[in-house]
Amino acid sequence: MSKKKSKTKNIKVENSTETLSLSSKCNIEGVFDDDTETESITEWKADEMMLLFNNIQQLLPKNDLGKYSTTLEKGIDWNRIRLPNRDPDECKQHALKIMKQLRQHRTLTEMLEDAKKFAENPWKSQQTHRINHPDLPKKPLSTYLKYFLEKSPKLQALNPTMNMSEIAKLVAEHYAKITPKKKAHYKKIYDEEMVVYRQKLLEFKSNHPEIEFGSNGSRRFCDDQKIGPIKPRTPFQLYKDYRLKKYIEENGEEIEENEEMLKIVVDAIREAWNNTISDKKRYKFIKKSLKDQERYDQELKEFQESNPKFVAPKLKSVLTKSELELKLKYEGKPSRPPRSGYTLFSKEMLKNMSDIETNERMVKIAKIWKELPESERNRYNDEATKLGAQYLQDLNDYLKNLPEDDKERAFLEEKSYYNRKVHDIKKKAEQSFVDNTALIAYQMEELKRLQQLHPEKNTADLMNIINNEWKKMNKDQKSVYMNLAQSIKSFVPNKQVMNKLINENDTKLIKIMKTKNEKEEELFRLTGIKKPRPSGFNQVCHYILVNRHDLATRDRLRFASERWRSLSQAKRNAYNLLAKRKFQCYKEVIAKFKENGRLPTEEEKALLEKYSVSDDEINEDNDENTKDNDIDDGEDDDDDEKTEKNGIETDSSTPPTPLQTDQIQNSTVAGSKRSITEESSQKKLNTKKFKTGDGLLYEESSDETDEDDDLLSE
């Protein structure tokens, strides 16, 4: 299989004292084994090549950072290369052919150095000249290597757990023991081959007087001993053992005798493993391999107990990435959904684009995507959303059924994806909150105006008109309401969003979040220490919400907002800073408590106390009194960020129900314009009232105060 490997690359010309003079007109007539590559190289003369490479050098792009072949393909203006009797494409193809045989992973600038050296004296065997003449005869293998070739497949079959280095050691061991008679036998073959080789080499030299024979590079060696338990076997190795055993049973011992046959059989087995074996069977060997891993872990543990100094070798996982995926798939793990409609689309498109060049595919897909009618794109987007929701559901089911030990690991594997999902949902919900709130604000304002203008019309008709007006408004016209909505959103915690998620997808992540909060609750029960409000603004809100029962909830929040804005910047900074410090302090306390149940020390309690702002302080009406502010050290407040982070970790003591847009709109009208709504009962209105406007977050509350407090103190 790999016999053909580096055929043209690693053949090197034998060292020789004979040094042939550099000939600029050398005409290489050698023939490559692979005849498709032959003609153009043999046609080109050294000076011609030199000219070509010098030409290319003139045209190198400024930033030559890509792979040389890419640069040759795309970075060079071949029309500007003019060689007598050569068309640009010929030049390009020739340059590509030569360079391909020098080194693979380099930039064109670097490769040109090698190429020019090559052109100076083609086929000279030196490190930079790795192309060897295809006609150069191969030196016969040494007696040891002949023996190695014969013995190593057998020893591999007998010692399937050994790697090549170990096999080589074993071969050497065997070789040291073979009888002089056998050695002489190998030597005889070698000598015979050597006679032929010398003859061929002479012929070669006479055919190619232009070729200079040089010396070669060096190699590094290092040694590491391998002791300890036998390494776990990979699924393929196990499969190979199984097939080989079966083969030997069926065909007797022959396979041992015939190394060629063995190689063929092993190759066939590999082929089967890679291409034809069913996933089900593969999964069987994957399981076996994992069992062997367990065996290894156990043996290693025991071995290390008796050999404490033994450092376990770093092993790669017995499973390849795809094997692991297969395993998880078989165990019911859902595969990740496409992230967007576009992803879904491109995935679908890619299936039928194998004929198009790789780097053009994505460009093409993007183009088609853009040209797709909106309805089509929406179809993909909807499908992607559906798949996403399905995935969360499937993942949930999968996690639920896992053994307790695996749950955590499996969850962590999906965590980043999950967080992303949470992020997406949150962003979406935030946006729809802002949109809804803006519309509500507009509706309220317009309704009032239109009712005065057209007292004869009923509310439903007016609302229709208003909604149509809104639809026709452009961004600028809406901006006032959007800004208002945004500012309302900014002091409303993200709790609803999270709760929506919790209700819809009761998965491990949320369970972890819940346990987090269970700990917080426990700490509160034990010490009375509550999770502090994460920002100065939240403190103000809290204070107003608790103390201003004379106002409706949304009015209280509005009032809180007004109060906050009326504070001087210095004071706001000061409150934020305190809140930040307190929050940090609390975070440390809760971390310790979670870790080992340690309760806060007196010192920590005192610190938490120190960072608290008293209600009285907030209640001070004369907000201009910032002079006596001794806690302001001018630090920027980043409570927005804090609030947000905090929002994610929020607890879920009050599971809310997500609101539908129309529901919100309807209730808004009802709530905000109580007087004009049809004869609904007062009680109903009262309940609904809290769903409206900024009250979006406080739906269906019977005990406002507690809930408000809860919501803002998260």
Partner DNA sequence: TAAGTAGAGGCGAGTTTAGG
Partner DNA sequence: CCTAAACTCGCCTCTACTTA
Return the number of the residue (147 or 583) whose C-beta is nearest DNA.
147
* Among the listed residues 615, 625, 640, 619, the one whose alpha carbon sits nearest the alpha carbon of residue 571: 625
Instruction: Write out the binding residues for DNA, residues 369-388 only, by CB under 7 A.
Output: 369-370
Using rule CB under 7 A, residue 362 touches DNA: yes
Q: Which of 42, 116, 137, 175 binds DNA (CB under 7 A)?
A: 175
For residue 630, what are its two tokens?
């001794």
Using rule CB under 7 A, residue 316 touches DNA: yes
Which one-letter DSSP state was computed for residue 677? S
Return the number of the residue (143 or 538) whose C-beta is nearest DNA.
143
- Which residue is associated with the tokens 């999968």? 398
| Beta-ladder partners of 129 | 126
Using rule CB under 7 A, residue 169 touches DNA: yes
Binding segment toward DNA, per CB under 7 A, in 59-67, 291-299, 460-468, 621-629: 59-67
Using rule CB under 7 A, residue 61 touches DNA: no
Instruction: Write out the binding residues for DNA, residues 67-86 only, by CB under 7 A.
Output: 67, 70
For residue 336, what are its two tokens?
């990740």
Using rule CB under 7 A, residue 59 touches DNA: no
CA distances to 307, 541, 658 from 554, in Å: 71, 11, 19
Question: Dihedral through CA 422, CA 424, CA 427, CA 428, nearest 10?
Answer: -110
* Among the listed residues 302, 160, 155, the one whose alpha carbon sits nearest the alpha carbon of residue 232: 160
Using rule CB under 7 A, residue 163 touches DNA: yes
* Min dist. Cβ of residue 209 to DNA (A): 22
Return the number of the residue (275 or 681) whose C-beta is nearest DNA.
275
Return the number of the residue (337 or 695) whose C-beta is nearest DNA.
337
Q: Which of 283, 310, 342, 470 binds DNA (CB under 7 A)?
A: 342
In angstroms, the CA 11 to CA 264 distance is: 25
Using rule CB under 7 A, residue 581 touches DNA: no
Q: Which of 19, 87, 89, 145 binds DNA (CB under 7 A)?
A: 145
Q: Site size for DNA, by CB under 7 A? A: 79
Binding segment toward DNA, per CB under 7 A, in 7-15, 505-513, 532-540, 615-623: 7-15
* Min dist. Cβ of residue 565 to DNA (A): 26
* Min dist. Cβ of residue 276 to DNA (A): 17
In angstroms, the CA 584 to CA 326 distance is: 44
Return the number of the residue (222 or 460) whose C-beta is nearest DNA.
222
Return the number of the residue (67 or 205) whose C-beta is nearest DNA.
67
Instruction: Write out the binding residues for DNA, residues 691-710 only, by CB under 7 A.
Output: none
Q: Which of 343, 432, 626, 687 binds DNA (CB under 7 A)?
A: 343
Helix H or strand E encompassing 52: helix 46-58
Return the number of the residue (80 or 169) whose C-beta is nearest DNA.
169
Q: Which of 19, 24, 27, 165 binds DNA (CB under 7 A)?
A: 165
* Among the listed residues 600, 316, 652, the one whose alpha carbon sits nearest the alpha carbon of residue 495: 652
* Min dist. Cβ of residue 493 to DNA (A): 18
**Cβ 571 vs Cβ 623: under 8 Å:** yes
Return the number of the residue (412 or 606) whose C-beta is nearest DNA.
412
* Min dist. Cβ of residue 491 to DNA (A): 21
Instruction: Write out the binding residues for DNA, residues 179-208 only, by CB under 7 A.
Output: 187, 190
- What is the residue-wise DSSP string for 693-710? GGGGGSTT-SSHHHHHHH
* Among the listed residues 156, 139, 150, the one whose alpha carbon sits nearest the alpha carbon of residue 178: 150
Binding segment toward DNA, per CB under 7 A, in 2-10, 277-285, 287-295, 477-485: 2-10
- Which residue is associated with the tokens 């080789």? 197
Using rule CB under 7 A, residue 172 touches DNA: yes
CA distances to 212, 257, 323 from 329, in Å: 59, 42, 10
Question: Dihedral through CA 35, CA 41, CA 44, CA 46, nearest 10?
Answer: -140
Q: How many CA atoms lie within 13 A of 436 on its CB side?
A: 25
In angstroms, the CA 263 to CA 270 distance is: 10
Binding segment toward DNA, per CB under 7 A, in 168-176, 401-409, 507-515, 669-677: 168-176
* Among the listed residues 709, 357, 361, 366, the one whose alpha carbon sits nearest the alpha carbon of residue 549: 709
In angstroms, the CA 611 to CA 577 distance is: 9
Binding segment toward DNA, per CB under 7 A, in 66-74, 456-464, 515-523, 697-705: 66-74
Instruction: Write out the binding residues for DNA, residues 207-266 only, by CB under 7 A.
Output: 215-224, 234, 236-237, 263, 266
- What is the residue-wise DSSP string for 366-390? HHHHHHS-HHHHHHHHHHHHHHHHH
Return the number of the residue (648 or 685) whose C-beta is nearest DNA.
648
- Which residue is associated with the tokens 């996982």? 317
Using rule CB under 7 A, residue 3 touches DNA: yes
Return the number of the residue (31 or 162) whose C-beta is nearest DNA.
162
In angstroms, the CA 444 to CA 215 distance is: 90
In angstroms, the CA 209 to CA 23 distance is: 9
Return the number of the residue (84 or 373) whose C-beta is nearest DNA.
373
Q: How many CA atoms lie within 13 A of 441 on its CB side?
A: 20
* Min dist. Cβ of residue 71 to DNA (A): 8
Using rule CB under 7 A, residue 339 touches DNA: yes
**Cβ 565 vs Cβ 624: under 8 Å:** no
Binding segment toward DNA, per CB under 7 A, in 340-348, 494-502, 597-605, 610-618: 340-348
* Min dist. Cβ of residue 361 to DNA (A): 7
Binding segment toward DNA, per CB under 7 A, in 89-97, 115-123, 151-159, 696-704: 151-159
| Number of neighbours of residue 564 by Cβ within 10 angstroms | 22
Angle at 12 between CA 10 and CA 14, to 5 degrees: 155
For residue 550, what are its two tokens?
């004379």
Instruction: Write out the binding residues for DNA, residues 391-450 only, by CB under 7 A.
Output: 416-417, 419-420, 423
Instruction: Write out the binding residues for DNA, residues 90-109 only, by CB under 7 A.
Output: 103-105, 107
Segments in 180-234 forming alpha helices (H): 180-207
**Cβ 387 vs Cβ 338: under 8 Å:** yes
Instruction: Write out the binding residues for DNA, residues 115-144 only, by CB under 7 A.
Output: 138-139, 141-144
Return the number of the residue (11 or 557) whose C-beta is nearest DNA.
11
Which one-letter DSSP state was computed for residue 318? S
Q: Which of 185, 281, 295, 361 binds DNA (CB under 7 A)?
A: 361
Instruction: For 393-545, list the strands marked E by DSSP.
Output: none
Instruction: Write out the binding residues for DNA, residues 276-295 only, by CB under 7 A.
Output: none
Which one-letter DSSP state was computed for residue 117? H
* Min dist. Cβ of residue 94 to DNA (A): 18
For residue 37, what are its two tokens?
């590559």
Binding segment toward DNA, per CB under 7 A, in 332-340, 448-456, 536-544, 703-711: 332-340
Binding segment toward DNA, per CB under 7 A, in 331-339, 383-391, 464-472, 483-491: 331-339
